[in-house]
Amino acid sequence: MPRKISYGVDYDDGYDYDEDYPDESYDYNYNNGVDEPESGWDSPEIKPEVKKEIIRQNVWRCPICTYDNEDYMSSCDICGVLRNPLIRSSNNGQSSTVAPDLNKPSTSNAPSNKAINNGNSKSIAKPSAMSSSAKPSSVSAPLNSKDKFQHVEENNHASVSETQTHSLSSEMTSLTMSVKSDNSKIPDKAKVPRSQFKPENWMLPDQTKDSLTQLNLAIVGHVDSGKSTLSGRLLHLLGQISQKQMHKYEKEAKAQGKGSFAYAWAMDESAEERERGVTMTVAVAYFKSNKYHVVVLDSPGHRDFVPNLISGATQADAAILVIDASIGAFEAGIEIGGGQTREHAQLIRSFGADQLIVCVNKMDAVQYSKERFDAIKLQLGTFLRSCNYRDSSVSWVPLSAMENQNLVGPASDSRLLSWYKGPSLLEAIDALQPPAREYSKPLLMPICDVLKLTSQGQVSVCGKLDAGALRNGSKVLVLPSGEIATVRSLERDSQPCTIARAGDSVAVSLQGIDATSVMSGGVLCHPDFPVAVSNHLELKILVLDVQIPIMIGSQLEFHIHHAKEAARVTKMVSLLDSKTGKVTKKSPRFLLAKQSAIVEVVLQDDVCVDEFSSSRGLGRVFLRSSGTTVAVGVVTRVIPSEQN
């Protein structure tokens, strides 16, 4: 879940940290400081070492990041991985097969949930302040490992090569979808087509007013590429972090032997992030450029925290992909299978952010070499093209966040100046095209976070308006609970405001609703134009580099806007030609890497959803398994909920 850094609203207000998570229990065995820069380039595995064991009942250990979660949590509070990606069998008779976790080699021996539940406690972090998405889960029995093994073996012949690149977004953009929604939970009056919505005057932006357009900018890239340092440095240069505050960060970072992380500390606020030198959740901060009011979404690079990236940066308008130019570091990031440069670029493209600034960072570590920059541009450019980024939408900026070269003005280092004449990072941001906004559509705001001040009976939700507008006093329908609430107040950039429009990231304080009826992953919408709520969806997907095919019964983590659920593939409708989108085969038995198909999935619980053709934000999905994104796709049909 994203959190704002301290230059904004204090979302930690009212939160009690659990004292059961002693920091001294951990030795992360992870030195990433300047003292040993080379060792940090390879994606560090997080291997916490237990120094002190604390027996805790009623917890389950996340198999990905090893955090011990309270028993009622249905997904890991730290990395977002689902507790048990199993759902009950669907009723259509096709879902009885128990399928393997994708991406796990057949010999893998993933820890069962049973073992996790019995595990002794070893925590790595405190829960984030805004993680309110937890709800009691009713999980079914763990996967029978024998069945799983047999099933994997049966399909081993279908393992796929990892060596080719593939086109991702052409699939997403060339869709012709049958929009046949049957929203069983929605009252009849609600089935007015969204296109018939007539916006009121106040909803439309005042063209005569000279206000900056908001640009949500996701900062992504492989672990340790310098995303937080770059973000912190930019904020400091643009006056968002005072000199005094910066001195404080420098002093504290030095005292902890992490002097090189001083700028990253501006973004990585939690003790755990600072101690480990690893960003875990998306941090939100603001600055102004000449053209934009920029919302920075500094994302985690470590593969364990990709679910947080998906939830936090899913509504980015554009992205900065940070590359570590150091020898070996760029190569690790672009590696097939483990490199987050690859996965992040694919995810960002399928979020719909087609404008990209590639920051080739740490140029100081390669003596500002033009040859190194050109080699990175050549190799990465080929990959980005295969993800369907257009050359004209990608800009390349060599820089050094550490040495402040080429961030907000021309470089001062003669080695860089001698060959680079292009824009600085700030100029490249201003050169981005303004995002299109859906001001005239009915309100739609996916809820990213919920703040419950129980003492005062208040509930606030945070998120970006996907469509429409809100103002104080507006009535909103809160889904999936179906309760109506009234907007008590609005805050943008920590400042009260009276109106929020499509594209704005806001905190909305609600009244007239019980806090239990509001959850992250839910949606605020216009009472007369609700979106669907269902657990049964037809998807058009593009399979990424999977080692094990997707088939009926495959257990997956399903991510959509800020919601995630366990999902099971229940039907393989058709295989599609990846270029034309035409059906090439009905009812395929399995899907391999780079194949495109129509499938049906049933989720463990309902999600707020819409067909991609009517709402991009609510119609994009990501399917993950065993810590890796295995497919991206769009919702082509919402089917009445399956009874689980």
11 vs 305 by CB, closer to ligand GTP:
305
Does 43 contact ligand GTP by CB under 6 A? no
227 vs 594 by CB, closer to ligand GTP:
227
Does 401 contact ligand GTP by CB under 6 A? yes
In the set 77, 101, 171, 224, which binds ligand GTP (CB under 6 A)? 224
Tell me which stretch binds ligand GTP (CB under 6 A): 87-95, 273-281, 471-479, 494-502. 273-281
The partner residues of 525 in beta bridges, in order of sequence, read: 444, 477
Secondary structure class of 584 (helix, strand, coil): strand
Q: Estimate to the nearest angstrom the gap between the alpha carbon of 323 and the chain centroid.
A: 19
Closest distance to Mg ion from the beta carbon of 233 (Å): 12
Q: With CA atoms as reference, report the closest residue to 320 among 305, 302, 341.
A: 341
Tell me which stretch binds Mg ion (CB under 5 A): 226-234, 302-310, 381-389, 476-484. 226-234
Q: With CA atoms as reference, report the closest residue to 11 among 312, 455, 447, 449.
A: 449
User: How many residues in the chain?
Assistant: 644
The amino acid at 413: D
How far apart are alpha carbons 139 and 566 in whole angstroms? 10
In the set 104, 148, 227, 344, which binds ligand GTP (CB under 6 A)? 227
How many chain residues are in contact with Mg ion, going by CB under 5 A? 3
Q: DSSP assignment, residue 203? A: G
Tell me which stretch binds Mg ion (CB under 5 A): 94-102, 272-280, 310-318, 332-340. 272-280
The dihedral sign for the CA sequence 365, 366, 370, 373 = negative
CB-neighbour burial class of residue 131 (10 A; exposed 0-12, middle 13-18, buried 19+): buried
Does 406 contact ligand GTP by CB under 6 A? no
In the set 79, 246, 365, 632, which binds ligand GTP (CB under 6 A)? 365
308 vs 578 by CB, closer to ligand GTP:
308
Does 279 contact Mg ion by CB under 5 A? yes
Closest distance to ligand GTP from the beta carbon of 256 (Å): 13
Q: Which does 261 bind (CB under 5 to 8 A by kind): Mg ion, ligand GTP, none?
A: ligand GTP
Select the residue whose beta carbon is closest to ligand GTP and give its number: 301
Does 228 contact Mg ion by CB under 5 A? yes
226 vs 627 by CB, closer to ligand GTP:
226
How far apart are alpha carbons 263 and 269 in whole angstroms? 11
Q: DSSP secondary structure string, 140-157?
A: -PPP-HHHHHHHHHHTGG
In the set 8, 301, 463, 480, which binds ligand GTP (CB under 6 A)? 301
To which residue do tokens 């037809």 refer? Answer: 538
Does 308 contact Mg ion by CB under 5 A? no
Does 474 contact Mg ion by CB under 5 A? no
How many other CB atoms are found less than 10 A from the CB of residue 610?
Answer: 26
Q: Which does 401 bind (CB under 5 to 8 A by kind): ligand GTP, Mg ion, none?
A: ligand GTP
In the set 5, 73, 278, 490, which binds ligand GTP (CB under 6 A)? 278
Q: Which does 487 bind (CB under 5 to 8 A by kind): Mg ion, ligand GTP, none?
A: none
Does 227 contact Mg ion by CB under 5 A? yes
To which residue do tokens 């570091």 refer? Answer: 329
Does 236 contact Mg ion by CB under 5 A? no
CB-neighbour burial class of residue 7 (10 A; exposed 0-12, middle 13-18, buried 19+): middle
Q: DSSP assignment, residue 51? A: S
Q: DSSP secondary structure string, 317-358?
A: SEEEEEEE-STTHHHHHH-TTT-HHHHHHHHHHHHT---EEE
How far apart are alpha carbons 395 and 168 in whole angstroms? 20
Secondary structure class of 171 (helix, strand, coil): helix
Q: Which does 400 bind (CB under 5 to 8 A by kind): ligand GTP, Mg ion, none?
A: ligand GTP
Tell me which stretch binds ligand GTP (CB under 6 A): 356-364, 434-442, 448-456, 478-486. 356-364
Closest distance to Mg ion from the beta carbon of 287 (Å): 17
Q: Which does 416 bind (CB under 5 to 8 A by kind): Mg ion, ligand GTP, none?
A: none
Closest distance to ligand GTP from the beta carbon of 39 (Å): 11
Closest distance to ligand GTP from the beta carbon of 338 (Å): 14
Does 361 contact ligand GTP by CB under 6 A? yes
Taking every pair of Cα atoms in the chain, the longest distance, rounded to a whole number of angstroms, is 69
**In Å, how far are 139, 239, 330 from 136, measured between CA atoms?**
9, 44, 42
To which residue do tokens 């939690």 refer? Answer: 270
Closest distance to ligand GTP from the beta carbon of 332 (Å): 12
How far apart are alpha carbons 368 and 374 in whole angstroms? 11
Q: Report the alpha-carbon angle 459-59-309, nearest 5.
A: 55
In the set 2, 85, 300, 333, which binds ligand GTP (CB under 6 A)? 300
Q: With CA atoms as reference, report the closest residue to 36 among 224, 197, 201, 280.
A: 224
Tell me which stretch binds ligand GTP (CB under 6 A): 114-122, 295-303, 485-493, 589-597. 295-303
How far apart are alpha carbons 130 and 11 in whole angstroms? 7
Taking each helix axis from N to C end, the angle separating 340-351 and 306-313, rounded to the nearest 10 degrees, works out to 30
Does 504 contact ligand GTP by CB under 6 A? no
Q: Which does 362 bind (CB under 5 to 8 A by kind): Mg ion, ligand GTP, none?
A: ligand GTP
Closest distance to Mg ion from the beta carbon of 298 (Å): 6
Site residues for Mg ion per CB under 5 A: 227-228, 279
Site residues for ligand GTP per CB under 6 A: 32-34, 221, 223-229, 260-261, 264, 277-279, 300-302, 361-362, 364-365, 400-402
